[in-house]
Chain A
Amino acid sequence: MTGGRMRGLVVIPAFNEENMIGRVLDEVGACGGLDIVVIDDGSTDATRRLVRERNVLCFPMPFQVGAWAAVQAGLRYAKREGYDFVVSVDADGQHRAEDIELLTAPVLAGEADVTIGACPERGSRLRKIAWVLLKALSGLDSADITSGFRVYNRHAVEALASSEANLLQYQDIGVLCLLQTQRLVVGEVAVQMRERTGGKSKLFYSWRAVSFYMLYSMLLGISKRAPKKLNPPQGRDNGKIM
């Protein structure tokens, strides 16, 4: 192929996903033209073996660092290797590989620094109420803030690979606020997501976890709220893409 083609890396954080990881890897691999790396966040099941069997690059974390830090490891690698964009995909099969192209299009076209694959319908009522509250507090206007299905361009990768982004416990509020503060353009594309097969949500698995998440996110949202833009960045469309 001629030079000038954009190089992309698919980053898949995985924790005990032996049920679906094989299928996810096969699907993403079928897309073609993208490198893949699985970040194994301290899995105790057969996840790692399944990844190795498919000859896919795997970064084993020495201890559990959390989903966001796992993705960030992939971003740091991408920054080092000079990838043009990174696609983050969940290992539980909720994200459809065929939608990757939909997400990369705005980024490759230079219309956005980050594209979020949004599926607002998937949440329970409680989750939707949480979203409304968090969005109001943090000043974010994305439709689906907890979606892990995203494409990041070089600028976004650079910003999120920094140590400033390290202690964000979750990938939503903190990351999106940081992007907003850096004046990076975040767009959204509507996608379908599959039902989670087996297993409860990693985030909302208990009331305690939910309370912690809400408290944490509210505090983060208020403190990291980006200042109101006085002048919009030159030549960029700041609106949502739906």
Chain B
Amino acid sequence: MQTYHWTSAFIGIAVAAIILWLVKRDHLHTRYAMWWVPLAIVIGVVGVFPPIIDGFAKVLGVHYPPVLVLILGLLLALIKILVMDIERSRNEIKLQRLAQRLGIVEGEMERLKRERNAPDR
């Protein structure tokens, strides 16, 4: 087996192991684990059996298989970032509306306190 095979196997399994450990320790919540665990498995498998990529590349008409890995990696990263921005937008809305409600409640409380301490005749 060539050296790079050991390297890729090591990298693949190490990444997979770290991700699975993070999920197990609940550092990575299950919702996000649904994305990362399959990814970890794929990385692990491809790391141990790089010829898989060669097979895929041939089917897709890519002449230099490693490029396929890079492209797929970038594509997945792009999708992930896009999804994250979408989620962040949703969170921002929630946060802003929460802030508004809090401000309204505090303002009304302040008025009630004032009226209680000095009731209008």
B100 close to A (CB within 8 Å): yes
Chain A residues in the interface with B (C-beta under 8 A): 37, 39-40, 52, 55, 57-63, 65, 69, 72-73, 76-77, 163, 166-167
Nearest CB in chain B to that of A63: its residue: B99
User: Which chain A residues lie closer than 8 Å to B104 at the CB level?
Assistant: 59, 73, 76-77
Inter-subunit contact B92/A167 (CB<8 Å): yes
Q: How far is the CB of B107 from chain A (nearest CB, A)?
A: 4
B110 close to A (CB within 8 Å): yes
A60 to B109, CA, bound (A): 11
User: Which chain A residues lie closer than 8 Å to B110 at the CB level?
Assistant: 52, 58
Q: What per-residue 1/0 map shows which CB atoms of B89-121 lie under 8 Å from chain A?
A: 100110011011111101110110010000000
User: Which chain B residues lie closer than 8 Å to A40 at the CB level?
Assistant: 103
For the complex, count residues of B whose C-beta is within 8 A of A.
17
Q: Which of B102, B103, B104, B114 has the largest number of chain A CB atoms within 10 A? A: B103
Number of A-B contacts (CB under 8 A): 49
> Are A62 and B92 also in contact (CB < 8 A) when A55-B114, A73-B104, A77-B104 are?
no
Inter-subunit contact B100/A65 (CB<8 Å): yes
Inter-subunit contact A167/B114 (CB<8 Å): no
A83 to B92, CA, bound (A): 28
User: Which chain A residues lie closer than 8 Å to B92 at the CB level?
Assistant: 167
A66 to B100, CA, bound (A): 11
Inter-subunit contact B96/A167 (CB<8 Å): yes
User: Which chain B residues lie closer than 8 Å to A52 at the CB level?
Assistant: 110
Inter-subunit contact B93/A61 (CB<8 Å): no
A59 to B101, CA, bound (A): 9
Nearest CB in chain B to that of A38: its residue: B107
> Are A59 and B93 also in contact (CB < 8 A) when A65-B100, A73-B100 are?
no
Q: How far is the CB of B66 from chain A (nearest CB, A)?
A: 37
Inter-subunit contact B100/A69 (CB<8 Å): yes
User: Which chain B residues lie closer than 8 Å to A166 at the CB level?
Assistant: 93, 96-97
